[in-house]
Amino acid sequence: MAKQGFTQSAFKKAVAALILTGGAVSAFNAQAADEINIYSDRQAFLMKPILDAFTEETGIKVNVVFAKSGLIQRLKSEGDNSPADLLLTSNVSNLSRAVDAGVTQEVNDSVINKNVPAKFRDADGQWFGLTTRARVVYASKDRIQPGEFKDYEDLADPKFAGRICTRKGDHTYNIALIASMIAHHGEAEAKQWLEGVKANLARKPQGNDRAQVKAVKEGVCDLAVGNSYYYGKMLTNDEQRAWAESVNIVYPNQEGRGTHVNISGMAMTKSSPNRDVALKLMRFLTEDEAQKIYAEQNFEYPVKAGVEASKLVDHWGEFKADDLPLSKVDSFRKRAAMMVNEVGYNN
């Protein structure tokens, strides 16, 4: 008898649980007017201080879903009924993908346009950059003489054979760099370059940008490609400081076109149920206060002119950034991604 009791109550519980879940659903959907919903592929903990500042100033509650992939698809499937107002991304590719998927809308706002320089926003106002980061090269202090490595083009120079580390070739940061090479040199030359870089790799591409600097410290390689803000992140991390201290940060192509930069950015969703509030947050993100927090917290460069980078970042010195508009670079994204597979970069 005891056994029967077990099974029957288990079934009842199962059924009750399923029904309850269904009931709870409607409660989740209720949304007040003074709230804003964000789909973000930047980690929530990075965004939190800025969004908290916004809530404090305006009393508007900010709701976030963070995921690295799938959110554009979610937006697209949800269609006009999607609760999301704003899309935040960590690179330009995801912004233009969202535009391609038709889930963004044009924003033409004088404040935002004034704060965000034209080269860091979409010409049609579909997306806006919030911070920039340079794709730099970290060179071993011991094994690379100052001036020995200068340009991205040098990465393919046979003198660096077996001395270079990068993360996977098809990571968005590398794809954007390769796309900029295509934009400047044309496809054939860019492919030759990529084959040269591949031939110079010290090991199969693996790990993130920081792991490459760590590999330099360990003597696995002498040059590592990475985003600029990781330098700051490593210097402020007890365990990783030694990695950062083993390298010099080199901004490539200073005597030519300048260093390739990428952006983190935002776009208003097409279905935004709360456009006014969304616009308010978008403006806020481009203003001094938010820009300052970005700069301080994540060691990125603010897009707004006149906002200072963090002291640490300032310390690395001024650099010349590539002036080619990002939307132009991004138009070679797909070609760049295929090129990575064609040269077998990750094998």
Partner 1 sequence: MVSQAEDRTAVAIGGRPGSLFKTRSGNGYWQFSVWLIAAIVLLPVLAVLWLAFFPEENIWPHLLSTVLPNYIITTIGLMLGVGFFAAWLGISTAWVTTMYDFPGRKVFEWALLLPFAVPAYVIAYVYTDMLEYSGWLQMGLRQLFGWQTARDYWFPEIRSLGGAVIMLALVLYPYVFMMVRATFIEQSASLRDAARTLGCSRRQVFWRVSLPTARPALAVGVALVLMEALNDFGTVDYFAVRTLTAGIYDVWMNMGNIGGAAQIASVMMIFILVLIGLERHSRRRQKQFSRGDRFKAFQRTRLSGRKAFACWLICIMPLVFGFIVPVLSLARHAIVYFEVSWTPDFFEMSWNSFMLSAVAALGTIFLGLILAYGKRLVKASSVQKAVRLSGLGYAMPGAVLAVGVIIPLAAFDNAVDDLFESWFGISTGLLLSGTVFAVIFAYIVRFLAVSAGSIESSLEKVTPSMDMAARSLGYNTLQILLKVHVPMIKPGVLTAALVVFVDCMKELPATLVLRPFNFDTLATHVYQFASDELLEESALSALVIVLVGIIPVILLSRSIIASRNEKQ
Which residues, numbered 318-337, are part of the site for partner 1 (CB under 8 A)? Answer: 333-334, 337
**Closer of 131 and 253 to partner 1 (Cβ):** 131
> Binding marks (x or -) toward partner 1, 122..161, rule CB under 8 A?
----------------------------------------
Nearer to partner 1, 220 or 312 (CB): 220
Burial 136-160 (b: 16+ CB within 10 A, else e): bbbbbeeebeeeebebbbbbbeeeb
Triad 261, 288, 96: Cα angle to 5°:
40
DSSP 33-93: TTEEEEEESS-HHHHHHHHHHHHHHH--EEEEEE-SSSHHHHHHHHGGG----EEEESSHH
199 binding partner 1? (CB under 8 A):
no
Residue 78 C-beta: closest distance to partner 1, Å: 5
Residue 319 or 345 with smaller CB distance to partner 1: 345
What lies within 8 Å, CB to CB, of 89 at 6+ separation is 40, 41, 42, 95, 98, 264, 265, 266, 267
d(C-alpha 233, C-alpha 253), whole Å:
24
Closer residue to partner 1 (CB): 4 or 110: 4
End-to-end CA distance of the chain: 62
Give how many residues touch partner 1 by CB under 8 A: 71
Q: How far is the CB of 189 from partner 1 (least distance, A)?
A: 20
| 63 is a contact residue toward partner 1 (CB under 8 A) | yes
Question: Smallest distance from the beta carbon of 298 to partner 1, in angstroms?
Answer: 11
* Window of 8-16, 130-138, 283-291, 302-310 that interacts with partner 1 by CB under 8 A: 8-16
Length of the chain counted residue by residue: 347
Distances (CA, A) of 346 to 64, 171, 184, 210: 34, 10, 24, 18
Binding of partner 1 by 77 (CB under 8 A)? yes
Query: What's the min distance (Å) between Cβ of 261 and partner 1?
Result: 19
Q: Does position 206 bind partner 1 by CB under 8 A?
A: yes
Among residue numbers 94 through 123, which ones bind partner 1 (CB under 8 A)? 94, 97
Question: Interface with partner 1 includes 18 (CB under 8 A)?
Answer: yes
